[in-house]
Amino acid sequence: MQQQGKGSVGFIGLGTMGREMAANLLKAGHPVRVFDVVPGATAAAVAAGAVAASNPADAASGCDVAISMLPDTPQVEEVIYGEGGLLNAPPAGKLIVDMSTISPVAVRRMHGDLAKAGVAFIDAPVSGGPVGAKNAALSIMAGGDAEAFARAEPYFKAMGTTISHVGASGAGQTVKLCNQLICGINLQAICEALALGRASGVDLEQLRHVLLGGSAASWMLDKLGPQMIAGETGAGFRIDLMFKDLRLVQEHAQALNVPLPGTALVTSQYVEARAHGEGANGNQALFRVYDRMSNQTSNQTSGEG
């Protein structure tokens, strides 16, 4: 039910993350118009109380803010510049927020083009995965003008718990890429520790328990470690999406002449995983790269790639 004074939202992109984020906006009392290229995703959101739209511009029509949550830079560019896009038919509130993980360079270009049309643009990628999206507990890192961030913040509060304005346009994406860099290298380190422990005959559940009690503890070890040990590959955050994020990290770093050898190494493991059909599996399936390299076999209980 809409609450007095709650701004209206045009929400574009109802994938694993977006559908939960849109649902939390609805729960917080915001009226939401939705668009997704997958009709079933739109239908599910409508069943939860949203209104269906025929394209991005229709989703944004009459709304205070348009929010997009999409796979990669080309999809966001299509939503902004394409036929039925937001550049020529922005929301009534002249505020667009993109919460995807995309190129900081593209973000700054879109920010400039939209500013010429009198539309504010915030890049606000998120961390926390599907669980954080479902529980409205995302970490949101936003780049853009302070005034536009202040207007967007009430919507962020419906979707996240850690909300930070980190700088000018593109800064949100840069912070998110730094986050993904750390996550990828941390996940690789866990894979290597489990591979070494397994080869040495150590009980992996006990190894994980001990590591969580010391300085090696991490979110990845806590949340994905059990799935890695059990060989469960079902998707939460997919290999394909993490590979895309690491590609963006390296593109950004190369443009700035910043060497990232650790990121290059873990990216090569994601290339191997995708070459073996693991792209649709969850991030924890990176451990199966080590199964293949060491001629070992994890328990494989779900999500075969």
Tell me the CA distances in angstroms from 75 to 56, 133, 152, 171, 177, one per residue in order.
11, 20, 22, 20, 18
Contact 244, 72 (CB under 8 A): yes
Sorted by sequence, the CB contacts under 8 Å of residue 201 that are 6+ apart come out as none
Number of H helices and E strands in the chain, helices first, is 14, 9
CA distances from 259 to 40, 91, 246, 264 (A): 43, 40, 14, 9
CB-neighbour burial class of residue 94 (10 A; exposed 0-12, middle 13-18, buried 19+): middle
How far is residue 223's CA from residue 212's CA, in Å, rounded to a whole number?
11
CA distances 225 to 218, 238, 261, Å, are 10, 16, 24
Residues in the chain: 305
What residues act catalytically? Answer: 176
d(CA 256, CA 262): 17
Q: Which amino acid type is present at position 68?
A: S
DSSP code string of 192-252? HHHHHHHHTT--HHHHHHHHHTSTT--HHHHHTHHHHHHTB---SSBHHHHHHHHHHHHHH
Residue 288: closest CA among 297, 279, 280: 297
